[in-house]
Structure formats: C-alpha cells, structure tokens
Structure 1
Amino acid sequence: MHSTVTIWHNPRCGKSREALKLLEEEGITPEIVRYLDDVPTETQLRDLLAMLGIGARDLMRTKEAIYKELGLKDVTDESALIKAMTEHPKLIERPVVITNGKAVIGRPPEKVVDLVKA
C-alpha cells in the first residue's frame, strides 16, 4: 500500500511522460497535477522547495525563453523567483513527484522510482 503519490506533470514533455510511465509500471496510479493549467500557489511552491531542499532557481527551467525575457538570471530574491513561477508556470522544472512529505525532480525520470520505493 503506497501513500498518495502526486506528479506535477506536463503531458507534452517526454521526461514527464516517462516518469509517469515508470510510476505506473511500479503499480502506482499517481494523482496528476497539470501544473501549467492548475498553477501552484506561492505557498505550494514554498512547501515544494522545502521538501526538495533547494532554492527557487534550482526548480526553474533556466533555458526557457521567458526566463531570459524576464531577466531572472540577475534576480536574487527568492520571493521574486517564486512569484515568477506562479505567473509563468512554464518556468517550473518537470516532472516533480511528491509522496510522504518528500519530493524529487524526475531528471532523470528513474529518480521518481527511487523516491516511491524509499
């Protein structure tokens, strides 16, 4: 019996689809959050960062055009980076899997299996 497993998922992303498939192969049907449509709040992002044990920039897709357009490379304020992710969820790295108060970024996707088996 697994605890609830949640995946922040973008179905257009190969790594995200691969992570979902790996979970399903483990017999897990995760709760799927399409974070581009159901955008996380600043509080949810702060909670996620705490579970991941990383700073906001480490959760960002720094190669996205919007990252450069917004000039985020030079921003050091965590709150401003988190706000940017809520306004532009495309900036959030994917996939993210959450279970038992822990989280992992599924890059490589096999990391999600390590999390749910722990």
Structure 2
Amino acid sequence: MTYVVTENCIRCKYTDCVDVCPVDCFHEGPNFLVIDPEECIDCSLCVPECPVEAIYAEGDLPTEFADFHAINADLAKRWPIIATSHEPLPEAERWAELEGKRQFLDAGSFVDA
C-alpha cells in the first residue's frame, strides 16, 4: 500500500511531510507534491505532518480523490524528488482553506529558480 497526496495540497505545497520521509518518496511540481507509490514504504510518518490533511493511505482515499492515486504515480515519474522542506507557496494560507482546487493543479515541470 502507498500514501497519496490529494487536492488539499494544490497551491499550498507545505513541505513538512518531506522532512520525515525516510525514503525520499516525495516529488515536487510547480504547485503540488506527490508521493511515488513505488518508493513509499507505507510508514505513515507524513500523514500527521501535513497541515492541510492532504495525505491519505490509498485504502482510505475518499471517493472524490480516488483518481489522485494515478495522478501521484504519473507525476512522480516526471517531477524531481524533494528531500528537504522549504517555505510553502506565498499564498498557501489562503489556498489551504479552499476546496475544489483540482482545476488549479499545474502538471508542468518544476524548475527551482
């Protein structure tokens, strides 16, 4: 089983979860993080670290987020690994409270400027 990052992370990108991951399974995109299901060891350490409650065990994914398992798997192949935390996106606090953010997921390449 793996853990899955869902919609709540979009346009927030808090990275508290990254520091506790023992296998560096997180990948970073422009405005979202994903978990590589092939690297995740199901330790659950990341779950309580996420301030927006965006991470679920794949078996506990709410129905409305079921497709995020495939989204995580696909984007993990394209985005670079993130192994250390950094500041969230500038307007993360405002976006953290919003629901229905799926249309704002930027699946493009992440380039650290």
Output the TM-score relative to the length of structure 1. 0.26
Structure number with larger C-alpha Rg:
1
- Ranked by relative contact order (alpha carbons within 8 Å, sequence separation 6 or more), the top structure is 2
Greater fraction of residues in helix: 1
